[in-house]
Amino acid sequence: MPNEFERELSVAVEAVREAAGLCRGVQAGITPDVLAKKDKSPVTVADFGSQALVCRALHAAFPSDPVIAEEDSAELRRTENATLLEQVVEHVRRVRPDANRDEACRWIDHGGARGYSDRFWTLDPIDGTKGFLRREQYAISLALIVSGRIEVAALACPNLSNSTASSHAGAIFSAVRGRGAASHAINGDLESVEIRVSNQPEPALARFCDSVESGHSSHDHAAEIARQLGITAEPVRMDSQAKYAVVARGEADIYLRLPTRADYREKIWDHAGGVLIVTEAGGTVTDVAGRPLEFRHGPELTANRGVIVTNGRIHDRVLAAVAAAGVR
């Protein structure tokens, strides 16, 4: 059916666009003094505000759909956090002027589902919190999962250029399973552009994209994998699912999210949006053993270890290098 999930796609894109506008407003207020004090309240305000707006849009359009998201309002409702809640509501009102504190908290808590459903959304309201604070890369990631398959994805990257030919910041990436992936200007001014992964067939010439934070992925293992593949260029390091977007539009060829400890499992909201965008752009995403990622186990990828993202053409050789490096 050519129009299947058309409404879901439209709602998802507009929801992450609204959330991105809120996040930009909060980020504009981050001063050097805030950073010097290591004050994380701006990202907390943006995180809650982003989730409130996206979950409001999902509930209005699809009231029966559960949402597995990262936050809940319990902390905001505490008396000592009244000022923080007021800041969240102030930013939400810039988009939804009639919002009040109770509504904002209810919208946030609409993301409180934790069990698997045959149809549900998963949301990361701000992926890349340290990148947000540094005014670098962060993302708002939203995906619809039906019968265990990712069907719709919308990924807003407010500080990423909107096309390979433009330095203007702000892009939304979207995909519907079986219909390809696209990039849109975040302000909606330009038409969408189809995106494709690179056709690089030589691992030694591949461009690596890696996490900034070593706590998110094993940098030592990544360096050994690069050595195994003959890659000598320094990796491009950035925060958030913006790395998926960079692979999807052919600006990088490999993104590794390697396990940092034996008991860690990835959260579904950290990957679902990016996975569909890369695969619909022609790439391949598996875990470190080459298994597809399973989204049937609630908030975590409990059946998988790590995540390997490539342009597809070099995936098997990357997996072989991962195994040779001792990543399990």
The pLDDT score that the predictor gives to residue 69 is 98
The first and second tokens of residue 76, run together, are: 């905001």
- Please say if the pLDDT value at position 36 is more than 70: no
3-state DSSP helix/strand/coil % of the chain, to nearest 5: 35, 20, 40
Which of 122, 124, 127, 129 is the catalytic position?
129
- Give the position of tokens 């997996």: 319
The pLDDT score that the predictor gives to residue 37 is 65
Percent of the chain with pLDDT over 90: 80
The pLDDT score that the predictor gives to residue 275 is 98
The pLDDT score that the predictor gives to residue 6 is 96
- Looking at the DSSP assignment, which residues form a beta bridge with residue 307? 257
47 labelled catalytic: yes
Report the CATH fold assignment for 203-324. D-Maltodextrin-Binding Protein; domain 2 (3.40.190)
The pLDDT score that the predictor gives to residue 218 is 63
Beta-strand relationship, 119-127 and 67-69: parallel
The pLDDT score that the predictor gives to residue 56 is 98
Q: What is the pLDDT of residues 274-316, one digit of tens each?
A: 999 999 999 999 999 999 999 999 999 999 999 999 999 999 9
Query: CA distances (Å), 279 to each of 178, 196, 283, 303, 317, in order?
Result: 9, 9, 5, 20, 18
Which of 47, 124, 270, 287 is the catalytic position?
47
Query: CA distances (Å), 85 to each of 93, 104, 325, in order?
Result: 12, 9, 47
Percent of the chain with pLDDT over 70: 94
- Looking at the DSSP assignment, which residues form a beta bridge with residue 157? 171
Q: Which pTM value belongs to this model?
A: 0.94
Nearest C-alpha neighbor of 47 from the set 27, 68, 67: 27
Q: What angle do CA 288, 291, 292 make, to 5 degrees?
A: 115
Q: What is the pLDDT of residues 135-171, one digit of tens each?
A: 999 999 999 999 999 999 999 999 998 764 555 689 9
- The residues, ordered by sequence, that sit 6+ positions from 100 with a Cβ below 8 Å of its Cβ are 89
**pLDDT-based confidence at residue 208 (cuts at 50, 70, 90):** very high
Beta-strand relationship, 236-237 and 166-176: unpaired
- Give the position of tokens 């993301």: 111
- DSSP codes of every residue in 247-299: HHTTS-SEEEE--SSTT---BGGGTHHHHHHHHHTT-EEE-TTSPPP---STT
Q: What is the pLDDT of residues 241-277, one digit of tens each?
A: 999 999 999 999 999 999 888 888 999 999 999 999 9
Nearest C-alpha neighbor of 230 from the set 149, 324, 293, 152: 324
Domain positions in the chain: 6-195, 203-324
Report the CATH fold assignment for 6-195. Fructose-1,6-Bisphosphatase; Chain A, domain 1 (3.30.540)
The pLDDT score that the predictor gives to residue 33 is 72
**What is the enclosing helix (H) or strand (E) of 145?**
strand 139-146
Q: What is the pLDDT of residues 62-95, one digit of tens each?
A: 999 999 999 999 999 999 999 999 999 999 999 9
- Please say if the pLDDT value at position 112 is more than 70: yes
Using DSSP's 3-state secondary structure scheme, residue 90 falls into helix
- Looking at the DSSP assignment, which residues form a beta bridge with residue 121? 67, 144
Longest dimension (CA), the chain: 58
Using CB atoms within 10 A of its CB, is residue 64 exposed (0-12), middle (13-18) or buried (19+)?
exposed
- Please say if the pLDDT value at position 179 is more than 90: yes
Q: What is the mean pLDDT of residues 17-43?
A: 86
Average pLDDT, the chain: 92
The pLDDT score that the predictor gives to residue 70 is 93
Q: What is the mean pLDDT of residues 43-68?
A: 97
User: Do residues 89 and 102 touch, judged by C-beta distance below 8 A?
Assistant: no
The pLDDT score that the predictor gives to residue 117 is 97
Cα–Cα distance between 231 and 219 in angstroms, integer? 14
